[in-house]
Amino acid sequence: KQLAIVGCPFSAGQPKGGVDKGPIHLVSAGLVNQLEALGWNVHFDGHHQFEDISIESDPPIGLLKNPRVVSRTCEALSGVVSEHAQNGRLPVTLGGDHSLAMGTISGTLKHFPEACVIWVDAHADINTTDTTDTGNIHGMPVSFLMGIGSKVPEFDWLKPVLAANKLVYIGLRDVDDGEKKILRENKIKAFSMHEVDKYGISKVVELALDHVNPNRDLPIHLSLDVDALDPSVTPSTGTPVRGGLTFREGHYVCEAIYETGLMIGLDIMEVNPSVSDTASVTQTVAVGCSLTRAALGETLL
């Protein structure tokens, strides 16, 4: 069992400093040893300093902030991730903000074009250049991966690789009006916190898999934003939203996806060790590590 930890100190998809330090905190909390203890052969060749991608100037394009840095970083990340997948290593990307998913998901889908994506998040991250209110590209990766909305030439390298029927959300509770319209128009399946309350998390995971992976024969890319969990569980993140997944619900999702034996890509995103006090940071980093372990085979018995 081979995996590669791809540490991505990156924050240009959103305005808050600190999320670039997420990967460093996760690794220094012992994640490599923890995964080796689960029997994984872990490839970790240090954090990829994508941010040394020198951009002389990166003025906004419309509302979009840092578009060139985000685009070039994701393009480089896509190559790193697909190379690991090519070499039989499961890429585990540690963010960094969620705009990086343009790189991770295009990278894994290059090698596993029939893969489905399970997006665990408080947010849909599917704004387009026309619908974004903030211009923060971490709120937009899914629209770029699906080729929805007006083209942005800087992102021409990213071809539409994700079909609506291969995407499913779990944990949504803070979706912009423009995004709600996009979800409806594209018939994208989403299990919000209302459905989690209504059906319970195990039924939600089963229904989500039934939708994108009915025969349980397609590879799965799990893209997890730690803000999917309640802020009482993962407080140190840039866009916290009340009413999220409990500690156990978050871990159940990861455990259940591991149990399918189909996971070929994992993203652990939006840990921001600069948000909140030390105790909150320590807790959030510890939960990030335990979610990662749960997605990679750690069991309670």
Ligand X SMILES: N[C@@H](CCCCC(O)O)C(=O)O
When binding is defined by CB under 6 A, the residue of 66, 78, 82, 127 that contacts ligand X is 127
Residues in the chain: 301
Residue with tokens 């074009």: 113
Residue 20 contact among ligand X, Mn ion, none, beta carbon within 5 to 8 Å by kind = none
Catalytic site residue 121?
A: yes
Shortest reach from residue 225's CB to ligand X, in Å: 5
User: Site map for ligand X, 164-203, x if CB under 6 A?
Assistant: ------------x---------------------------
> What token pair was written down for 194?
């209302």
Is residue 225 part of the contact set for ligand X (CB under 6 A)?
yes
Helices (H) and strands (E) in the chain, counts: 10, 8
230 binds Mn ion (CB under 5 A): no
Candidates 13, 299, 281; CA nearest to 141 is 13
Strand, coil or helix: what is 245?
strand
Asked if 45 interacts with Mn ion (CB under 5 A), we say yes
| Minimum distance of ligand X from residue 101's CB (angstroms) | 8
Stretch that binds Mn ion, among 24-32, 45-53, 156-164, 165-173 (CB under 5 A): 45-53
Among 138, 211, 221, 251, the one annotated catalytic: 138
Tell me, yes or no, if 133 is annotated catalytic. Answer: no
Residue 126: CB minimum distance to ligand X, A: 9
CB within 8 Å of 140: residues ≥ 6 apart: 64, 99, 125, 126, 127, 128, 129, 132
3-state secondary structure of 179: helix
Beta bridge partners of 220: 116, 263
* Tokens representing residue 82 in the block: 């697909």
Residue with tokens 């190379």: 83
Active site residue 270: yes
For 253, how many CA atoms within 13 A lie in the half-sphere containing its CB? 33
* DSSP helix/strand/coil, 148: coil
Report if residue 25 touches ligand X, rule: CB under 6 A.
no
Q: Rounded to an integer, what distance in angstroms lies between the CA atom of residue 136 and that of residue 63? A: 8
Query: What mask, x for binding ligand X by CB under 6 A, covers residues 106 to 125?
Result: ---------------x-x-x
- Smallest separation (angstroms) from ligand X to the CB of 123: 3
Catalytically active residues are 98, 121, 123, 125, 138, 225, 227, 270
Q: Which residues contact ligand X (rule: CB under 6 A)?
A: 98, 121, 123, 125, 127, 132, 134, 136, 138-139, 176, 225, 239, 270
Q: Which residues contact Mn ion (rule: CB under 5 A)?
A: 45, 98, 121-123, 125, 225, 227
